[in-house]
């Protein structure tokens, strides 16, 4: 299926990526996980996104899903649904091209009535060589913008 021309700047995301991650936050104990990302071309001007993570023992951890749009060549919009009661609207810029580019996104969050409160997030996806490196920070539960997650993923 042809990729919609809007998605040319992020064509090198399409596929399934897997690798190790590490998490931290001032209010919790550090932890490790395995992450899998898929970006799927459905022939429309967006990619379908699914993320799943597992503990070192193989138990399911966080997962999230969404849609990634590129409305103009250096602009990226990423709508993400969280199972923890947040919906995340991430917007930002694409710098670089081909298989060597970075998405820098900052998000507005809607929290459900019972969710742990997340004020704002920053996401960085670095596509380089044969990897995607993901970094995630958040202002949440009363803490200022602080690093929560890092992972490095390779195509499966």
Listed in sequence order, the DSSP H helices in the chain are: none
Q: Which of positions 87-116 make contact with ligand HEM (CB under 6 A)? A: 88, 116
Site stretch for ligand HEM (CB under 6 A), options 12-20, 28-36, 70-78, 90-98? 28-36
Nearest to ligand HEM of 20, 98 (CB atom) = 20
Is 137 a binding residue for ligand HEM by CB under 6 A? The answer is: no
Residue nearest to ligand HEM (CB): 27
Residue 108 CB, nearest approach to ligand HEM (Å): 11
Distance CA 96, CA 113 (A): 39
Buried b (16+ CB within 10 A) or exposed e, 125-141: bbbeeebbbbebbbbbe
Say if residue 26 is exposed, middle or buried (CB neighbours under 10 Å; 0-12, 13-18, 19+). exposed
Q: Is 78 exposed, middle or buried (0-12, 13-18, 19+ CB in 10 A)?
A: buried
Does residue number 132 form part of the binding site for ligand HEM (CB under 6 A)? no
Name the residue nearer to ligand HEM (CB basis): 38 or 121.
Answer: 121
Strands 60-72 and 46-54: antiparallel
* Only segment of 17-25, 39-47, 71-79, 90-98 that touches ligand HEM (CB under 6 A): 17-25
Of 85, 84, 103, 107, nearest to 94 (Cα)?
A: 103
Which residue among 8, 27, 95, 112 contacts ligand HEM (CB under 6 A)?
27
**Position 31 contacts ligand HEM (CB under 6 A):** yes
Rounded to a whole number of angstroms, the minimum distance from the CB of residue 18 to ligand HEM is 12
């Amino acid at each position: 299926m042809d990729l919609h021309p809007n998605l040319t700047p992020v064509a090198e995301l399409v596929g399934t990526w897997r690798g190790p991650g590490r998490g931290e936050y001032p209010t919790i104990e550090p932890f490790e996980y395995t992450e899998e990302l898929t970006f799927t071309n459905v022939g429309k001007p967006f990619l379908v996104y699914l993320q799943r993570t597992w503990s070192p023992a193989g138990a399911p951890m966080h997962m999230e899903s969404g849609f990634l749009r590129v409305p103009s060549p250096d602009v990226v919009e990423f709508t993400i649904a969280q199972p923890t009661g947040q919906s995340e609207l991430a917007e930002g810029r694409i710098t670089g091209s081909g298989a060597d580019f970075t998405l820098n996104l900052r998000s507005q969050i809607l929290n459900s009535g019972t969710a742990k409160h997340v004020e704002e997030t920053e996401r960085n996806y670095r596509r380089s060589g044969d990897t995607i490196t993901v970094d995630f920070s958040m202002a949440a539960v009363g803490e200022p913008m602080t690093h929560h997650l890092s992972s490095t993923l390779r195509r499966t």
